Structure 1
Amino acid sequence: MADENRGPDDRSPEEEFQELMRRLMSGDTSGIDPEQLSRLSGMQIDPAMLQQVMNQLQGAFAGSDEGVDWSLAERQALHIANQDGLGVTTGQRTDLDQAFTLAGLWLGEATTIPDLPRPARAVTRGAWVSATLPVWQELAEPVATSIADALTAALGQQAPEDMQEMIAGAGRLMRTVGGSLFATQLGHVVGRLSTEVVGGGDVGIPLMPDGDAAILPQNFADFGRDLEIPEDQLALYLATRELAHARLFRHARWLRLHVISQVRDFAHGIRVDTAALEDLASRFDPSQPEELRGALESGALLPERSEEQTAALTRLENLLATIEGWVDVVTEDATARLPAAARIAEAVRRRRAVGGPAEQALGSLVGLELRPRRMREAAAMWRQVTEAVGVEGRDALWDYPDLMPSAEDIDDPAALLSRLTAASRGEAAPADAMDDALAQLLAEEAEGGRAAGTADEGTDADGSAAPRESSDERPDDDAAPGDQRPV
């Protein structure tokens, strides 16, 4: 009797969670308190954002689209990015415009890659989110799909036999739930990232639209706070680096697709650890959400990398190192007039190597840390190339994908330098291992062709020599069968 007289406020966290799941499974999301869902989910997501999730769930059964609603990510990211309410002041815009103008002139002396079609600008955190979110969506989509599939599969495996029919009908709902929660979490990470990055090229991948370069004044001050370096020198160095990065991707149009394709190749191999997911679900305590939150933030639901993923990650790291090594060398040459250039460069390298909290959270969410671990080695290679063939010869390596230095060239630039210096003198490049292998393959094919021709003309099918008929032994084509001479 006591249980029958209990009101909704008297329910335990376990009963509250069970009631919430019952209503979700039945498609009844009306009246669910977003703050309640936020508390139970353990994700510490803004209740206003969760209300958007609930609105999405209300139409989950009615619609046929099972894709991820990425507008949830945008709303969550903009909510975080715009929390301080600060914009770009006239003074900040003027100072950065002047820094970009001078940086463009300096880069004209350090690289042959042309200027951007549009002037660089100062942007707010919210503007950075809006500009970069399409790329984040493209990179994260394979992971979102894997998580949605895993939630659906785990639900079907954990449910009792008498609930399988209902579970089968709720599959689309679970995919919507998984996709919506992932999109919201991605928006949370991108929003936090907008409070850390200084420029469009900070993360290393081409996030900004083609031909755009930008600096976030709100984060610029945080970057230089403990460096004790004059702000005008900091602005000039960071503007030069941002322009060099944007110029490279604008010039080498193939490079943008190359980088994004390699990131997606890695992401496509991600599979959620269903065993870990089922184990966590079996002992999940709604009143103790810290374990779930820790699993999400640590990436515990993502299994160890496969061999294919490790190989894809290695290729990506080498590619990012090659790009940022070139940017380092060009920026160093362009900012040689700055007294504090070396100190700023070292601060940038350390910042890229360590990464900020938001970048680390992104790595946990998608299983990928975008850090060029071999940037110093790549920069040393580009420096040797510059000294050997000059700025024009160095920058020409970005004209076509086949010309770009490889990981082996970063390890040992000697072969690359030999090819480039020979080409600059108009001489044939010395043969390398690939040239030797190709020459051997062509020789084997040519030899095989000659052998086949000989077999057709003078051997039987078993390879033995075929006896040739003399003109006297050949039957007369015009003679009747009875007139043929015996052999």
Structure 2
Amino acid sequence: MSQQDQQPAAQARELVDWEDAAQIAGRLASPGPVASRDELEALVASLRGAAARAVDPVLEITRMTAADGRDLSATGLSGVLVLDRPGWARASARSMQSMTAGALRLPTRTVPLAAELVASAEVGATLALLSTKILGQFDPFGPADGNLLLVAPNVLQTERDLRVRPEDFRLWVCLHEQTHALQTAAAPWIADHLRAKTQTLLADLSTSTSDLRQAPARLFGAARAVVSAVRGTTGPDGQTLSLVDGVLTPTQRQALDEVGAVMALLEGHADVAMDAVGSSVVPTVRSIRRKFSARRSAGGTSTPDRVLRRLLGMDAKMAQYRDGAAFVRGVTRVVGTDGVNAVWSGPDALPSPREIADPVAWVRRVHG
């Protein structure tokens, strides 16, 4: 047995070195649109202000409260970080490290250094590409109550492309992300639930790579599955990214679908909230939604852009928004907003992949 194979488990090399992935992501992330220093400073201040203004409308629309009883109007929902693309990529790598800690080791052997280097580079490159697509993200694994991450260059680029009113669009984006922050405040168990589900899935993937003759395909597939699971790029209908096809067993695919169902709920619920504010809060909300939905549906028209969207799982992500929003609206029609909020009572109340597509089945199970 080699000295490397005798390495203590506590020091065992994992499939992904997240520090390396973060550095690679930060170096590869493109800077984004050009703007003057004054424009950028105004953008940062505007996004911070929008994040603060979004709290009260979200509380009013969802009728949700913090599990610990604190007054969220007074304390706020979370920290707010306005980032550039490299900053988001590095922050996302750190979040994924927290979510997958210890789950990417081989059970009987040390991960080969070459495999770790390649997998880390793949994840870093993927995060760099994703950094050009993300407007905002709530990170429940940040300090204290989590952090709301707003990617300033992407917000700027999108509002320019859509020709929408900047102040309205920035508030609209923050309404979505602050809804995610409220979900975590109302159901503080949900972050650990997702972490446990993801770690179990990835540990199982790591176990299946114990035969090092299969290491290249299996390890690299697992690295891609990390991004899929954590970013929620698997639809609740069982559709998985082509990049992990042939890697996941039926049991693993079911586990990934369960993660996808939770992500569909979270994203769909936030989408419903951001549109429900009405013109008194966001005067051009209907115009923004119409233009934004058309942009989502169209995607890229060129073949390279369509391929990129598929590789990053953006098409499946769009299905999550659509299916999750349909679930929330379907439940609301039957039992109202307070009935929807029963979903935050505990893990047993979360919808299954089948129930995401059949909200009445969820109502029957949870409400009787």
Give me the whole-angstrom Cα distance separating, in 1, the residues matched to 2:277 and 2:25: 35
1:134 and 2:94 equivalent? yes
- Does the 8 Å contact 1:144/1:179 carry over to 2? no
Partner SS, residue 226 of structure 1: helix
Identity fraction in percent: 22
Equivalence for 2:58 = 107
Q: TM-score, normalization: structure 2?
A: 0.68
1:194 and 2:131 equivalent? yes
Give me the whole-angstrom Cα distance separating, in 2, the residues matched to 1:228 and 1:178: 45
In the TM superposition, what are the counterparts of 1:270-281 in structure 2 within 5 Å? 270=205, 271=208, 274=213, 277=216
Give me the whole-angstrom Cα distance separating, in 2, the residues matched to 1:385 and 1:144: 37
Equivalence for 1:211 = 146
Give me the whole-angstrom Cα distance separating, in 2, the residues matched to 1:301 and 1:110: 38
1:70 and 2:18 equivalent? yes
Give me the whole-angstrom Cα distance separating, in 2, the residues matched to 1:110 and 1:300: 38
Give me the whole-angstrom Cα distance separating, in 1, the residues matched to 2:189 and 2:355: 20
Partner SS, residue 56 of structure 2: helix
In the TM superposition, what are the counterparts of 1:175-190 in structure 2 within 5 Å? 175-190=112-127
Equivalence for 1:392 = 338
Q: 1:352 to 1:102 in 2, by over 3 A?
A: farther
- Does the 8 Å contact 1:104/1:243 carry over to 2? yes
Partner SS, residue 197 of structure 1: coil
Partner SS, residue 28 of structure 2: helix
- Opposite residue 215 of structure 1, the aligned amino acid is L
Give me the whole-angstrom Cα distance separating, in 1, the residues matched to 2:77 and 2:178: 12
- Opposite residue 346 of structure 1, the aligned amino acid is S
Q: 1:351 to 1:256 in 2, by over 3 A?
A: farther
- Does the 8 Å contact 1:120/1:212 carry over to 2? yes
1:383 and 2:318 equivalent? no
- Does the 8 Å contact 1:82/1:125 carry over to 2? yes
- Does the 8 Å contact 2:328/2:340 carry over to 1? yes
Q: 1:211 to 1:249 in 2, by over 3 A?
A: same
**Residues 392-416 of structure 1, C-alpha deviations (whole Å, 9 max, x = no match):** 3322331222233334433333354
Q: 1:183 to 1:140 in 2, by over 3 A?
A: farther
Larger radius of gyration: 1
Q: 1:218 to 1:356 in 2, by over 3 A?
A: farther
- Opposite residue 124 of structure 2, the aligned amino acid is G
Give me the whole-angstrom Cα distance separating, in 1, the residues matched to 2:166 and 2:279: 17
1:125 and 2:85 equivalent? yes
In the TM superposition, what are the counterparts of 1:250-329 in structure 2 within 5 Å? 250-270=185-205, 271=208, 274=213, 277=216, 303-329=246-272
**Residues 181-228 of structure 1, C-alpha deviations (whole Å, 9 max, x = no match):** 322332232233223311114xxx856554321211111122234323
Give me the whole-angstrom Cα distance separating, in 1, the residues matched to 2:315 and 2:19: 24
Equivalence for 1:95 = 46
Structure 1 stretches lacking a partner, 5+ long: 1-59, 150-171, 279-297, 424-428, 430-487
Deviation at 1:110, TM superposition (A): 0.5
Partner SS, residue 120 of structure 1: strand
Partner SS, residue 147 of structure 2: coil
Q: 1:112 to 1:132 in 2, by over 3 A?
A: same
- Opposite residue 264 of structure 2, the aligned amino acid is A
Give me the whole-angstrom Cα distance separating, in 2, the residues matched to 1:352 and 1:143: 34
Q: 1:346 is matched with which residue: 293, 302, 327?
A: 293
**Residues 229-272 of structure 1, C-alpha deviations (whole Å, 9 max, x = no match):** 22222212111111112221232111112223333333334345
Q: TM-score, normalization: structure 1?
A: 0.53
- Opposite residue 222 of structure 1, the aligned amino acid is Q
- Does the 8 Å contact 1:321/1:378 carry over to 2? yes
